[in-house]
Amino acid sequence: MKPESEVLRLLREHGSGWVSMEVLQSAAEVSSEQIGQIVEKLREIGYEIESAAMKGFGLRGVNKEGLSSELISYGLATERIGQKVLVYEATDSTNDVAWCHAGEEGFDGLAVFAEQQRRGRGRLGRSWLAGRCSSVLCSVLLQNLAPMPREGLALLAGLAAAEAIESCCGGRVRIKWPNDVTFEGLKVAGTIVESRRTGTRDGFVIGLGINCSQRKEDFSPELRESATSLWLMCGSEVDRVQLAQELLCRLEDWLKAVSAEGGLDQPNRRAEAARPTNLERLHQSWLGRCDELGRRIRLVCNNQTFEGRVIDVCPEKGLLLQLDAGAVRVFDAATTIVDRNYGDS
């Protein structure tokens, strides 16, 4: 881990307490002079760090004015995701910005953030609306991947968001297929995966939106009973810089694990036992948070309605439903709508 990443991690872990120079030196494996340089850099980019003789250093806050590429990049413990970071005060869509760079070399892993989106989008043409500085709105461009189904990337994105939220806020975060991240049954985050052919290769953009500082009255009337935010979960403001960094780290961890075993598209994988270990770990980790597993749900796909019990969510193909008529059918996220007002426990 980078020395600056280790210093920032320790300061965050100790909350309002103190971390001694000796502890920082030992963890970061650098000299006291280098620790001083790292602390000064953190102060320069917006962190409030107190220092005291015999006590060491304490993190007291972070720039409340908004995100910046320097805040997110400094101390980011990744090798691929977020090596380029763009932050916009406002843009139509972070996904659109990411796609603008898809045909250029050297933009694999680009992370685009915006404090506000004018035309942010969710699945199936829906809008994603958020007030300025109220959320973490992010899109990540992936250029250099083996052919990979969007279903697997969608599971990966939801799991990364859930883990990042838990790391920063605690609580037990759940997932609803295909793209809702929830806390106590209320949606706190959403994901979207888009794919396009750019030149001779397939590109992907993973879009993520996490509600951070919204109060109930900030949501539109039709969302107030179904949506929540990290502030409502925790009762306090979340460090959005830390959350953004955690999100990029979790995405990288899962992508690295799956890619190391050949991606999500291995041929002739018909049995669970044939899956690579890390892909099956992704599958099981996602299922462990899935609200629908074993429940009856109603779906609409290609203008037809289906009812049945969820028996699995497959990283390669999608949701497996045991239909009331007896057959098992697979549904992909791109063409399927889940009726959230139907189902049993």
Measured from the Cβ of residue 140, the count of other Cβ atoms closer than 10 Å reads 27
> What confidence score (pLDDT) does residue 63 get?
76
CATH number at residue 190: 3.30.930.10
Residue 68 is predicted with a pLDDT of: 93
CATH classification at residue 24: 1.10.10.10
Residue 229 lies in a domain: yes
Q: Are residues 172 and 195 in the same domain?
A: yes
Q: Is residue 191 part of a domain?
A: yes
Do 217 and 77 sit in the same domain of this protein?
A: yes
In a domain, 291, yes or no: no
Of 238, 259, 280, the position where a domain reaches its end is 259
* DSSP structure class, residue 290: B
Assigned domain for 281 exists: no
Same domain, 122 and 78: yes
pLDDT in tens, the chain (345 residues): 789 999 999 999 998 899 999 999 999 999 999 999 999 999 999 999 999 999 999 999 887 778 999 999 999 999 999 999 999 999 999 999 999 999 898 999 999 999 998 875 555 455 666 667 789 999 999 997 766 677 889 999 999 999 999 999 988 999 999 889 999 999 999 999 998 887 777 789 999 999 999 999 998 898 889 999 999 998 888 999 999 999 999 999 999 888 765 555 444 444 444 456 778 889 999 999 998 899 999 999 988 999 999 999 988 889 999 999 889 999 998 889 888 777 654
| SS3 state of residue 60 | strand
Domain limits for position 250: 69-259
Whether residue 94 lies inside any domain: the answer is yes
User: Which residues, other chains included, contact 143 with Cβ-Cβ below 8 Å and sequence gap of 6+?
Assistant: 102, 107, 108, 198, 201, 203
Residues 20 and 113 placed together within one structural domain of the fold: no
Which of these three, 200, 234, 259, is where a domain ends? 259
Does residue 284 fall inside a structural domain? no
With CA atoms as reference, report the closest residue to 111 among 66, 134, 141, 91: 141
Answer for the pair 142, 300: CB distance below 8 angstroms, yes or no. no
314 and 167 fall within a common domain: no
Question: No. of H helices and E strands in the chain?
Answer: 9, 14
Neighbour-count burial of 139, counting CB atoms closer than 10 A to its CB (0-12 exposed, 13-18 middle, 19+ buried):
buried
- Pair (101, 216) in one structural domain: yes
Q: Give yes or no: residues 157 and 219 share one domain.
A: yes
Which pLDDT value is given to residue 266? Answer: 44
Count of domains observed in the chain: 3
Instruction: Tell me 214's DSSP state.
Output: -
Residue at 96 is within a domain: yes
The residue among 206, 234, 259 that closes a domain is 259
46 found inside a domain: yes
pLDDT value at position 201?
Answer: 75
- The verdict on 97 and 34 lying in the same domain is no
**227 and 147 housed in the same domain:** yes
**Pairing state of beta strands 180-183 and 186-198?**
antiparallel
125 and 241 inside one domain: yes
Q: What is the CATH number of the domain that holds 302?
A: 2.30.30
Query: pTM of the full predicted structure?
Result: 0.88
Are 331 and 200 part of one and the same domain?
no
Q: Is 50 in the same domain as 77?
A: no
**Quick one: pLDDT at residue 148?**
66
